[in-house]
Structures are given as C-alpha cells and as structure tokens.
Amino acid sequence: MGMPTVIVMPLISQGLKPFLMEGQERPHGVTGNTSPNLHPGQGLRRWPWGRATPIFVGMESEPRGRGGRRLLLAAGLAAVGAGVYAVVIEPGWIEVVRSVEYMPMLRPGAPDLTLVHLSDIHVGSIGRRERRAIGIVNTARPDVIIISGDLVRGGGRPDALESFLSALHARQGKYRVWGNHDYWDGVPTTWGPEVVRRAGFKLLRNSSQTIRHAGGRIVIAGLDDPITGHDSLKLAMARVSRRDACILVTHSPEVVRSLGNWDIDLVLAGHTHGGQVRLPWIGALWVPYGTTDHIDGWFEVDPGVRLHVSRGLGWSWLPVRFLCRPAIDLITLRSGLPPGRVGRKSIIGRS
C-alpha cells in the first residue's frame, strides 16, 4: 500500500501551512474562513520571545524551521571566517621550527653549526611575509642557509627575487637547488643563474660544495630537480667521501626511495608545502605524487639517513594556507649521538 498524498493549504489565522490528507477540504474543525476549533490539549502557545505559534496534539516544542536556519547561518559565517583566515592571515603567519640534529660523522666536542632550511619561497614581490622571513633568518645568525627549490611563482620577478636572496646573510655560505616551478617558468635557462650568483648563493646542479668545520668536512650535495628529470645522484655525490658528513639537498623528498649505497647522512627537501590546506581529522587535501609518506617534518628513511621536509614559505596555484602555516626551519647540527640514545633523533621545538 502506498503512502497517502499530502496536500498543503494555508491556515489563515496564523499564516502557517497545516498538513491535509488527500480528499480533506479543510483542516479538522475549521469552518469557512474562521480560525480552527482546536481539540483539548491544542491551542496557541506564546513563546518567551513573544510570537504566538499553534501547538498541536503531540508537539512539545516549536517547529524546527528557525533552528535549522540558524544552524545554516552559523555554518555559513564559519565558512566565511575560515576563508578569510586562510587567505589573509595564515599565509603570512610564519612559524619558526627549531630542531637539534645529531651528526655522528662530526668529531665529538665540535661547536654546533646553525643551518636555516627554506623551501618553496615562491617570491613574487617583497611584501610583509618576505620582510618577516628576512628578519627571522638574519636574527638567527645562521652559519649556513639552504633553499631546497621553487624560488618563483608565475614567472617571478628577477628584481624581487634578487632583493630577497641578497638580504639573507650566513657566515659560511648560502646554497640552493632548482625546483619544478623554477623549470616550468624557464628560470634556470634565462635570468635565474645570474640573479642567484649576484645574491651570493651557490647554485648546486648535481654538484657539491664543502664546508670546513671544526668537527670535520661537511659536504653539501645538491640534486637538480627530479620532477622535471634534471637530477643525477651519481654526479651530485661524485666528490663525497666516506669520511665526510654529507647533506643532500633536493626539491622533492621522493628521491629517498632510491638513495642506494651512497654515504648520505641528512636529506633536506621541500615541494609538499606540508599539504598547504589541511582539515581537522582529515589532514592534507592534496600532496604531490610520491610524497604521501613524507609530507612534513623529520623521518628516518634508511639506517643512518635522516630526512627533513619543510612546509615551505610560500604557496603555489592559490594564495591560501589553512592549518598549515608557512615555516622557517632553524636546525642546529650537533656532533655525536643524543645523550643516552643509540640511534639518531631530532629534538624539535616550535614558535
């Protein structure tokens, strides 16, 4: 048996719409255009806010229409607020992440080395975010600055990028590699190398540079962008010996799946933006292919090999970040092993 058809007719006295069964011409007890003759237990109930509402048999509260509208309004306001936060506030709200990474290859008792890891800076102009980043980096007085790719977005502006890079200061050197956006915008084959050189950065394209440190030789090997197929780990590691402490810089962390037997102690990468947009209980809505296991932070990828993935400073495609603040990583490289530990671990703090 099918359900009876429901027809809605106006109830003139209150402007409401009672339900009528099929074949019923008017609500029960209604004659002509007069108000309904309500059964005992029915009647008009005046709610605290002063509006009279008909309450029929079995109804313990006011109909839910207004509550639903209020809930919808609240949800809409929350969505607008989250959107404003994601576009206006969080993209410029830089988080400083401090960590201590122990390097067994350095001689015990050697002084610490302060390394700033930046990634995905995507400089389009010098604005509030860029000035804040410059202040954070220079206040840390780093020994070394490393940028793991993606300097520009949308073609970039050579003058803005040079101003930003030139303003960063390090005592023992500044190093960088190219990322996929750099290649997609043609920067490495046009004005990019000259701008990087004038800004005082050493460009590592499947090559390496050595830092003389009291704890021993530290070799920084730079891998050209693997996403666009410009990488050669063999060339990048050609001048690294087993006695060196080796830091491999790459744009994408996916390369850690094929490190082979090369003598690498630490890998620095970016590319993921930490997901850029994260939702509670869900996490990142999207991450680049091959990076789902290494989105953000520290990882043990091989025995004796540590990976650090930066959330990055900028954004790509859309100028939004949500629950994934831009980050500058201040890494203290310390000789030896952590006290009381057999394996290497990082001690991490945030601000």
Which pLDDT tens digit goes with each residue over 273-307? 999 999 999 998 889 988 999 999 999 998 889 99
At 315 the pLDDT is 87
* Structure tokens that stand for 336 in this block: 């030896």
Domain positions in the chain are 1-57, 94-350
CA 224 – CA 177 distance, rounded (Å)? 6
Cβ neighbours, 10 Å, residue 210: 14
The mean pLDDT of the chain is 83
At 263 the pLDDT is 92
CB under 8 Å to 248, separation ≥6 — which residues? 221, 222, 223, 236, 237, 259, 264, 266, 267, 268
Reported as a pLDDT band with limits 50, 70 and 90, residue 60 is low
At 85 the pLDDT is 83
φ/ψ of 152, rounded to 5, equals -125, 170
Work out the percent of the chain whose per-residue pLDDT is above 90.
59
CA 297 – CA 308 distance, rounded (Å)? 6
Give me the mean pLDDT over the 124-153 stretch.
96
Which pLDDT tens digit goes with each residue over 82-101? 788 888 888 999 999 999 99
User: Residue 306 pairs with which residues in a beta bridge?
Assistant: 266, 300
CA 171 – CA 209 distance, rounded (Å)? 15
31 pLDDT higher than 70: no
Q: Are strands 207-213 and 202-203 parallel, antiparallel or unpaired?
A: unpaired
Reported as a pLDDT band with limits 50, 70 and 90, residue 3 is very low
At 100 the pLDDT is 95
Contact at 8 Å (CB) between 243 and 236?
no
* Structure tokens that stand for 79 in this block: 């969505």
Reported as a pLDDT band with limits 50, 70 and 90, residue 240 is very high
CA 294 – CA 28 distance, rounded (Å)? 68
Specify the amino acid at residue 314.
Answer: G
Which pLDDT tens digit goes with each residue over 305-349? 999 999 999 987 788 999 999 999 999 999 988 776 665 555 566
CA 38 – CA 98 distance, rounded (Å)? 73
Which is more confident, 251 or 337? 251
What's the alpha-carbon Rg for the chain, to the nearest Å?
31
At 154 the pLDDT is 79
CA separation, residue 287 to residues 3, 254, 278, 284 (Å): 49, 12, 10, 7
> In which element (H, E) is residue 110 found?
none
Which pLDDT tens digit goes with each residue over 156-183? 789 999 999 999 999 999 999 999 999 9
CA 339 – CA 155 distance, rounded (Å)? 47
Which is more confident, 22 or 123? 123
Please tell me the least confidently modeled range out of 8-12, 238-242, 301-305: 8-12
Tell me how many degrees the CA angle 138-143-146 measures, rounded to the nearest 5: 80
Which sign, positive or negative, has the C-alpha torsion 250, 319, 276, 314? positive
50 pLDDT higher than 80: no
Give me the mean pLDDT over the 125-131 stretch.
94
User: Residue 75 pairs with which residues in a beta bridge?
Assistant: none
CA 144 – CA 173 distance, rounded (Å)? 5
Tokens 């959107």 correspond to 83
CATH architecture of the domain with range 94-350: 4-Layer Sandwich (3.60)
Specify the amino acid at residue 101.
Answer: E
Specify the amino acid at residue 173.
Answer: G
237 pLDDT higher than 80: yes
Which pLDDT tens digit goes with each residue over 258-277? 998 899 999 999 999 999 99
Please tell me the least confidently modeled range out of 11-20, 69-78, 182-191, 288-297: 11-20
